[in-house]
Amino acid sequence: MQKRSRPRTKPIACRRCHARKVKCSGEVPCEGCQRAGKPGECVYPRKNRVVQVSQEYIENLFAENQRLRGSSQGDNDDSDEIATVEGLVLSETPWFVHTDTTHTPILVAEASDSAFATRFRQVMSTAQHGHLPRVHFPSDEKLLDLSDADCPWPSPARARFLVRSAIKCLGRCYHIIRRSAILVELDCAIQDSSSLGLLAKSRLWAVLAIGEMYATKCAVLGDAFPGIHYFAKAMRVTRVVSERPNLDTVEILLLLSFYSLCLNRRHSAYSLAGSAVRTAVIMGLHLNVPETQLSDPSEREHRNRVWWTAYCFDRMWAAKLGYPAASRDDEIEVDLPSNPICDDSNASDFPDRDYFVARIGLSRLSGRIIHSIYTQRSPQSSLSLRVQEAFRYLRDWLEKLPPSLRIDPKHETELDPRARSLHLLFNQLAILATRPILLHVLRTHLESGPVPSSALSLSDTCIRYARHSCQLLIDSWTNGSFMIFDFFYTQYLFAAATVLGISSMLEGKDQQSDKEQFDVAVYLLSQLRDIGSFAAAEFHSHIEAIEQLMHMRTVDGKSVSDNLPSTAIVDDARDDFITLCDPFLEGLLDQPIPDLEFIDASMFLPDMYLGGDV
């Protein structure tokens, strides 16, 4: 029999008697205070007493509380277009999870691809599904050990091969180093490495790491990620924060940030990109330097392009994680990249500006879209208006895109890698803007509820962009241009796969085609995982968990019939994307606003299902 303590109804002594150390009768007022003529001072202190109660009593209280909440929600549900609390889509409060290595919770942003995969699993099942831990990346301890270990310079031939690989693959999308300058430094290192200073050595180590990563086309052993030994050496320069930074410092931070992302050390990449931006601000790279202080047009252009690369990295990494950026647009006054007049010795240092300007525009839009769609503050407008605004931004960007960077569906398999990377990023932003609505449509479909036509239209938009991204990546894989250890291609493949997985759960004529394309994307992710990609290993773990639930739905007979006509994946994806030009976007922007208002009330998920790491 459980023993219970009996709470007292009155304290032993009032405050006045206790202070005077006299016996208190216990009444209110007590005899002592009455005799002294001070009944108003007869106050008894309150004590927080511990009372033992049974576990069953607590559980009954909790169950009653849940019942009352459920009944109050049922009273307010007077419309078929108002979503219920069960099966909500996003979190209205910040999403924190605990890790195994620290007592401090880690923030999981709703805009991230892994968070969306978790929400997908939560919608498909009534069981409690926590966030899968991110464990596929080299640890801090491993990198510290490698930084202190011996790492000889590669042979002259291999060094030249790796540096040129980095210049070709990294330089076509981002401007971080000048080709002419790094080749001169390489010659000096080959002749006498001791002649280089600390920053020059670190920059060269970082370039070698990126070059080996891009040059490697086969599987690696264990966690021997290509270039990691060079990267660890380059990281030694970050042990001391420079009090007088120069342009070399910014370049090194950007190189290290890029490689960290490919290692799937996304928090490190985000921190290094933010440090690069702040270091650049200290140097004033976000402002135009007067010609009287820097007259060389090549140096001025290099300075400007390095700033904009830091800007793009910061914005893009922040968008991937759903975190804030390190700088504000209204504080930036530096000119956009230009095409400077250069002599023959450094003409190859500055590729045509059009691509870089276009990427800057998309990077700027990424921050706007993430903040608009996934804000946890009380939004100024409805979700429907915010989605339409996002597509207006994207349409304006597309209208300004030079013809040389546009996609010609007839020659899509021979697409310029720079144009492909731009359109993959464009598709990713469109997916980010619409996939919360797609997730709501899936939940409503599984519950056999009605969905307004405008929501179906936006969810179909999300699926179309995912199809196109998947097809671009499949073409890239088949023609040999897929960057095996590059984070971006792997991320885009995973993001497209999750959307196509949802599409395969919905009724529609393209359900079977989307399921086939989903299977191809999963196969490619498994190949990348087996080769040694850390990012692919993480994303594939999410896909495996999703596939289990999809299979359970099929076995239980809860998915739609598989007896639907199958269409060719390649033709279907390309035909869909043709409709994403101006007429389609115009129709999308003309969607009636009221039909989407019901989604605003259903964008939040309780955080009781959370757990793991990010």
Q: Which of 67, 95, 122 is the last residue of a domain?
A: 67
Whether residue 332 is found in the same domain as residue 192: yes
Q: CB-based burial of residue 424 (10 Å sphere; 0-12 exposed, 13-18 middle, 19+ buried)?
A: buried
Q: Which of 306, 337, 368 is the last residue of a domain?
A: 337
Whether residue 374 is found in the same domain as residue 448: yes
- Residue at 451: amino acid letter: V
Whether residue 323 is found in the same domain as residue 402: no
pLDDT at 608: 31
pLDDT at 516: 95
Distance in angstroms (rounded) separating the CA atoms of residues 143 and 152: 16
- Would you say residue 539 lies in a domain? yes
The H-or-E segment that residue 170 falls in is helix 156-171
Q: Which residues contact 261 (CB under 8 A, 6 or more apart)?
A: 269, 317, 487
Specify the pTM.
0.78
pLDDT at 582: 42
- Residue at 265: amino acid letter: R
How many Cβ atoms sit within 10 Å of the Cβ of residue 294? Answer: 12
pLDDT at 404: 84
- Would you say residue 9 lies in a domain? yes
Strand partners, 96: 107
pLDDT at 324: 86
Domain with 46 in it: what CATH number?
A: 4.10.240
Distance in angstroms (rounded) separating the CA atoms of residues 517 and 580: 19
Strand partners, 107: 96
- Residue at 114: amino acid letter: S
Alpha-carbon distances, residue 189 vs 177, 192, 556 (angstroms):
17, 5, 65
- Residue at 187: amino acid letter: D
Whether residue 326 is found in the same domain as residue 366: no
- Would you say residue 2 lies in a domain? yes
Whether residue 320 is found in the same domain as residue 405: no
Q: At what angle do helices 179-191 and 198-215 cross, to 10 degrees?
A: 100
Whether residue 28 is found in the same domain as residue 176: no
In degrees and rounded to multiples of 5, residue 350 shows phi and psi of -130, 90
- Would you say residue 128 lies in a domain? no
Whether residue 41 is found in the same domain as residue 154: no
pLDDT at 133: 73
- Give average pLDDT by consecutive 10-residue segment, the chain, 614 residues: 45 74 79 79 64 58 57 39 35 53 64 89 77 85 92 94 94 92 94 89 96 92 88 92 92 97 95 96 94 90 96 92 87 92 75 93 92 75 82 90 80 75 93 92 86 83 94 92 93 97 87 94 96 95 92 62 32 39 48 48 39 41
Q: 198: domain range?
A: 140-337
pLDDT at 91: 52
pLDDT at 454: 77
Q: Is 605 helix (H, G, I), strand (E, B) or coil?
A: coil
Q: Are 174 and 350 in contact (CB under 8 A)?
A: no
* Closest among 475, 470, 530 to 501, alpha carbons compared: 470
Whether residue 314 is found in the same domain as residue 242: yes
pLDDT at 103: 52
DSSP 237: G
- Would you say residue 532 lies in a domain? yes
* Closest among 270, 272, 267 to 139, alpha carbons compared: 267
pLDDT at 567: 30
Distance in angstroms (rounded) separating the CA atoms of residues 317 and 323: 8
pLDDT at 7: 43
* Structure-token match 């087996």, residue found: 530
Count of domains forming the chain = 3
Whether residue 408 is found in the same domain as residue 318: no
Strand partners, 108: 95
* Structure-token match 């759903």, residue found: 322
* Structure-token match 């800007």, residue found: 311
